[in-house]
Amino acid sequence: MKYINSKLRNKTVLITGAAGFIGSNLAFYFQENHPEVHVIAFDIFRTGERFENGNLKSFGHFKNLTGFKGEIISGDITKKEDLARLENYDINYIFHEAAISDTTVSDQEIMIKTNVNAFIDLLELAKRKDARMIYASSGATYGSTPSPQTVGIENPQNVYGFSKLAMDNIAAEYARKYSMFIIGLRYFNVYGKNEYFKEKTASMVLQLGLQILSGKMPRLFFNSDKILRDFIYIEDVIQANILSMVADKSGVYNVGTGKPRSFQDIADILQKGLETDYKINYFENPYKAYQMHTQADIASTREEIGFDPKFSLEKGIKDYLPEIKRVYEGEVKNV
């Protein structure tokens, strides 16, 4: 999966949130395809601290970087003294994946400090280093807007989506005011390798796969065949990030397939791939407000950065199944 042939020798790439899901996949992409690149993996890692909702404050885990040979820095993006350690490096590209990505966190103060205020500090770093910035935005910026979700029509329904939209607005201002290169990628429902340590916020693909491997009936809301999401495989997300390195201009782009699929589809594809035939354990949806349909409008992503998603839900799950089995055997089976 080598999307660019740019002259990256002696270039330095900073990845924040590098021990997390998408960040770790980016780190290994460069290690495997561009070993000449100096990669700095910056992550707070996990401390065991949890939010009031019971979920972890940090999803970063050392196991996601097992085998990584680049430089690793443990740091908090909200602490200026930690970011100051990066001043000693001649950074050419920044992939900013660090964030509070849990949409159920209600602590507005920590969400804004982590996702918005720290982003400004990283933009200032990029400005000083004349580095290209590619950062994680989110489909959560769209909230309850009808499908297909299109850049410029947003209505976030939680503080996470609000924080990501604020990042997009700040990025646009920095790009305009300082002639910086900044791309925001609005990820939709990402699934794939290295998401296990997200615990309850991991994708339904992984959660249902582990349920089935554990010999349990997969659990779904009633009418799950009518709940559709734009599921995007991690390999395609990495493609979007790498293509953004050589894009012509700044902007915000959706990263999805443009082809929504149902939760029922996931369960059916998994059961076929795992050769099981469990009945579905349907239960009532406990959420009063629940988005029933997401679909990324990726026309501008195709046109302006050359993004072309390669993985259908069937192809993505087939590729992911060996990793789901490994996670089950190594992390779940004997717990």
pTM for this one?
A: 0.95
Tens place of pLDDT per residue across the chain (335 aa)? 445 655 688 899 999 999 999 999 999 999 999 999 999 999 999 888 898 888 888 889 999 999 999 999 999 999 999 999 999 999 999 999 999 988 889 899 999 999 999 999 999 999 999 999 999 999 999 998 999 999 999 999 999 999 999 999 999 999 999 999 999 999 999 999 999 999 999 999 999 999 999 999 999 999 999 999 999 999 999 999 999 999 999 999 999 999 999 999 999 999 999 999 999 999 999 988 788 999 999 999 999 999 999 999 999 999 999 999 999 999 998 76
Q: In this structure, are residues 260 and 296 in contact, taking their beta carbons and an 8 Å threshold?
A: no
State the SS3 of 26-80: HHHHHHHHCCCCEEEEEECCCCCCECCCCCECCCCCHHHHCCCCCEEEECCCCCH
Cis peptide before 148 (omega within 30 of 0): yes
Say how many C-beta atoms besides its own lie within 10 A of residue 326's C-beta: 12
Query: Domains of the chain, with CATH numbers?
Result: 12-193+232-256+290-310 (3.40.50.720)
Q: In this structure, are residues 241 and 134 in contact, taking their beta carbons and an 8 Å threshold?
A: yes
| Chain center to CA of 64 | 14
According to DSSP, the residues that pair with 132 across neighbouring strands are 93
Buried-state track 108-137, b at ≥16 Cβ within 10 A, e below 16: eeebbebbbebbeebbebbbebebbbbbbb
